[in-house]
Structure 1
Amino acid sequence: MLNSDPLSTTLYNRMLEPSGITPTPHSTIQTLFACEPTGSPAVILADMLFPDWAPLRLLSALRSREILHPVIFMSHRVETETLQEILEANAFAFIKKPINQVKLLELTSRALAWDEPRQAHLLRTQQTRRALRAMGAREREALQMSVGGLSARQIAERLGVSPRTVEKQKTAALRKLDVGSMAEAAALMAQREVSCALLGVPG
C-alpha cells in the first residue's frame, strides 16, 4: 500500500483484515522499489495524490523495475481524461474515496486472482533465465539446435564433437532447466522472454 497518510493506511488495513489480506504499508516510493520479488500474487494500492509521483510516472517506474503487480489507484476525484490515461497504461482499476469496504475487498480480491498465474509465469521465466545463464556455451548451443529440430548427429557435425558428447550436453541442459524432455524445453524456449535470454539479447 502506497500512502503517505498514516491514518488512511490504518483505515484501509482494517478494511482488508476480514479477507485475510495483510497490507505492507509504504510511506515512500523508495521502500516499495526496494522490495524483493517473491513470486507471490500481490496488488499495489496507490493514492493518486502521492507526493511527486503522478500515476503515469509511477506506472512507468514500476514497469522499468519489473514490479509487475496490478495497481489500484485511489482518489477523491479524477478527471475523465486522466482516468482513461491510467487505465490505458495498464492500471488495474480506480476506486473513488471515501473508500467503500465492499468495493475495496472486491477489487483487491479480483486483482490478486488475476495476478496469481502471472506471477507463477514470471517466476518460472526468471528461473529459466537463471538456468540458461548457468549453462556452458556448448550446452546452450546443443539445446538451441535440438529445439530447432536437429538430431544429435547433425549437432555433432556442426560443433565438431561426437554425438555422445552432444547427448551429454543436452542432458545437462535439461537438468538445469528442470524439465524432463526436449518438448518441454521447446515450450519454454517459445516464450519471448526466454528466447531473448537464450540469444543473449534484452527481453
Structure 2
Amino acid sequence: MTHPTGFLTHAYYTIARAVAEAGVNADLFKHPELIPKTLKRRVSAELKRLAVLLRRLIFLMALQVELAPVKPRPGSNYFEKADGEPEARKVVFSVLPVPAGEAPDFLHGPITVPTRGPVPAAPLIARWEAMLDTLKHHKRRANCLARTIQRWKAEGEARPYIVPIPRTHAMPAALGIVSGGLTVQLIEALRDWPAADTS
C-alpha cells in the first residue's frame, strides 16, 4: 500500500462506501419528503466530514494528473436563447473550499423560533446525490481541478496549507487511516509547488 496509486484506490473505495452508507442508513435513497431533525443533523455532520476527505482525495488526484496542451475550442454565446424549456438546476459538489463570507445567521442572534418536528429532506438528499455524482465522475473532476492548479502555479499563488483533520480518532478505523494518509500524501505532493510571487 506504499505505492500512491494503491493508496488512492483504497482511499476512493473507502470514502465511496462511507458516503453511500451515510445515505442508505438514513433511507435517503427512498426520497422521503420529511425526516426527523436529529437525523438531518447527524447525516449532515457525517456528510460534512466525508466532504473534506473527498475534496482532499480529488485534490491529490489532480496533483498527479499529467496535462496535455489545451486545445482551442469555439466560443459560445451565453445570452443566446435556446429552444424548449430551461433545464432544472442541479446541486453541484464544489471541489474547492468556499471562501469566507459573512457571519452565519446563528451568530446574529435568534430571529425566528426554530420549528419543531420533521424537516424537509430535499436539501440533504441533493447534497448526498451531488457527492455520489462527484465520486462517479472523480477523474473528470480531478482533470478540471488539475487545470485550475496549473493556472494557480502560473499566476504565482501561494502553496495551499494542509492541516490535519480534527477528531480523526473518533472516525471509524478505515476512514481514520485514509484521513491521515491523505494529509501526509498531500503535504508530500505539494513540496515541489513553486515559491509564491511576492513582488
Please indicate, yes or no, whether the TM-score normalized by the shorter chain is above 0.5: no
Name the one with the larger strand percent. 1
TM-score scaled to structure 1, two decimals?
A: 0.24
Look at both structures and tell me which one has the larger radius of gyration over its CA atoms. Answer: 1
TM-score scaled to structure 2, two decimals?
A: 0.25
Name the one with the larger helix percent. 1
